[in-house]
Copies of this chain bind each other. A is one copy, B any other.
Amino acid sequence: MPAAPADEGDAPMSKSRVEAFSDGVIAILITIMVLELRAPHGAGLAALRPLLPVFLSYLMSFVYLAIYWNNHHHLFQAVRHVHGSALWANAHLLFWLSLIPFTTSWMGENHFAGAPVALYGVVLLCAGIAYYILSQTLVAHHAKDSPLAIAVGRDEKGKISVVIYAVAIALSRFDARIALALYVLVAVMWLIPDPRIERTLAPPSPPTG
């Protein structure tokens, strides 16, 4: 049986399903956090004030999950084929991301106390490491001059993020606000567009409608 054409067609399907599953999980995670924003019993605007820390921690986690979705999207954009080990590296990443609603809720309800802020950082740290493992697992199955290998590169941003998380966790013992400021710093670092990756992936000619 001439399997080659069928297998050629399989590779993108496989990849697209990993993307679809990851999209589903991240979409649910980003959305169920809003269930923690429980409607207050009072009808006045003053009744919203106690919700402010819960809202702010929701906002930070929304941004972090959106960053992860964006990076995941850019990463898989350059992926050509997926192997079994990458499926597990991806599930490992999703596991750590799945704990974000829990740490968000604990941090928000305890008004950014030290231990919840530290645990929030531990989950970010583990997610960062899991993302690094995922990208390296994918690169290992691609050629050294593939768009993926070039796009991932040395991933300095990812490594710096992990170091900042570790520093933030250590400092949260003394002042949780320093840790929070560092989490915001990492998020801002990722929000600023990275022209290098876009250039690697962008079509060489200017697009026409």
Contacts and interface: CB of A to CB of B under 8 A. Distances in A.
Interface in A138-153: 141-143, 145-149
A106 to B, nearest CB: 4
A205 B6 CA distance: 13
A52 to B, nearest CB: 13
Contacts of A43: 110, 113-116
Contacts of A157: none
Given A17-B19, A115-B45, A209-B148, A201 B10 contact: yes
A10 B75 CA distance: 12
Given A24-B27, A43-B113, A110-B43, A91 B66 contact: yes
A118 to B, nearest CB: 8
A26 interface: yes
- Give the number of copies in the complex: 4
A50 to B, nearest CB: 13
A25 B30 contact: yes
A45 B113 CA distance: 11
Interface in A64-103: 66, 69-70, 73-74, 76-77, 80-81, 83-85, 87-88, 91, 94-95, 98-99, 101-102
A208 to B, nearest CB: 5
Interface string A193-209: 10000100111110111
Given A1-B145, A17-B23, A70-B91, 7 more contacts: A7-B204, A21-B26, A24-B24, A44-B115, A45-B115, A45-B119, A84-B193
